[in-house]
Structure 1
Amino acid sequence: MEVFLDIQIADELEQYQSLPTDEQLQLWVESALADRCPFDEPELTVRLSAEAEIQELNRDYRGKDYATNVLSFPFEAPPEVPLPLLGDLIICAQVVDREAAEQGKSSEAHWAHMVVHGCLHLLGYDHINDDEAEEMEGLEREILARLGYEDPYQDEAP
């Protein structure tokens, strides 16, 4: 599967040191979509944002006025328009790095988790109820293990 990835980096992050490379983002997206995506050549945007931008989006679209780690905006084309566009992921660099430090994880591992998590949301997975959360977290564990990362939920109580 070839994924067409539009990577955008907010101007505020020009000097930010711990952003993933384009190659890492591509690998993580392709790994998340493999064998799950309805398109042969899907397209999506990954935007690396600063806190103010993601807080505004979180407030405006989810009614939650704080900076979050990742937002997913799935694209739903009308049935008569066969576009392979999955949607947009917005990932906040500062929040991801802060959470990685708080959770004792490497920044890279947490970035990979957030990309995989966001991609699964674009595919329709969710974690609103326990059954959905169990399925989605199981997929995240499987994908991240194949990429060589530890279980992102290993320190959480069952």
Structure 2
Amino acid sequence: MTKGPVRLDVAVSYATERAGVPAAVSFRKWVAAALAGRIREADLAIRVVSEDEGRSLNRHYRGKDYATNVLSFPAELPEGLPKGVRMPLLGDLVICAPVVAREAADQHKPLASHYAHLTVHGALHLLGWDHEDEREAEAMEQLEREILAGLGVEDPYLER
């Protein structure tokens, strides 16, 4: 765990209708909570997309022909940077607004809470967290619960 404040640069872009989609300040707050104590500095981009773009990206990068709620693209740091050049690039998140809205409605969750959860979830993926097996999934979900509780967001894994 790192101590002190995180130097964070989060670029948020919107490639879909903005109705119901949180402002960039909210995404930055959620990313900061996910990264606090885990990394000293980070640059990342969040792109909020339509279902068509989400489906296209999921098909291209994961071979799955449907739009998913969040995609995480960890940065692959270039080799051979000149001495003294630091590269705090963490990666990119792609969040599919129509899928998030549909899931929040189906799960009877506040839309902003679902966005917060998926942003935290995606940011943890950028840090290397995963849920490929039951043990990893339980550890990641518990960390998400703790981070979200600190933000005043209810446990996203509670059955409704």
Structure 1: runs of 5 or more not aligned:
none
What is the aligned counterpart of 1:3 among 5, 8, 22? 8
Calculate percent identity across the aligned residue pairs.
53
Tell me, in whole angstroms, the C-alpha distance in 2 between the residues paired with 1:132 and 1:41.
25
2:135 pairs with 1:131: yes
What's the counterpart of residue 152 of structure 2? 148
What is the aligned counterpart of 1:121 among 119, 122, 125? 125
What's the counterpart of residue 64 of structure 1? 64
Deviation beyond 3 Å, 4+ runs, structure 1: 78-82
Tell me, in whole angstroms, the C-alpha distance in 2 between the residues paired with 1:50 and 1:146.
30
What's the counterpart of residue 29 of structure 2? 27
Tell me, in whole angstroms, the C-alpha distance in 1 between the residues paired with 2:10 and 2:29.
10
Counterpart residue identity of residue 11, structure 2: D
Query: Residue 118 of structure 1 aligns to a residue in which SS?
Result: helix
Tell me, in whole angstroms, the C-alpha distance in 1 between the residues paired with 2:61 and 2:79.
24
TM-score normalised by structure 1 residue count: 0.92
What's the counterpart of residue 48 of structure 2? 48
User: What root-mean-square deviation, in Å, do the aligned CA atoms of Structure 1 and Structure 2 show?
Assistant: 1.2
What's the counterpart of residue 109 of structure 2? 105
Query: Residue 117 of structure 1 aligns to a residue in which SS?
Result: helix
What's the counterpart of residue 3 of structure 2? none
Name whichever of 80-89 and 98-107 sits farther off. 80-89
Tell me, in whole angstroms, the C-alpha distance in 2 between the residues paired with 1:126 and 1:100.
22
| Residue-pair matches, total | 151
Tell me, in whole angstroms, the C-alpha distance in 2 between the residues paired with 1:135 and 1:45.
25
Counterpart residue identity of residue 140, structure 1: E
TM-score normalised by structure 2 residue count: 0.91
2:88 pairs with 1:84: yes
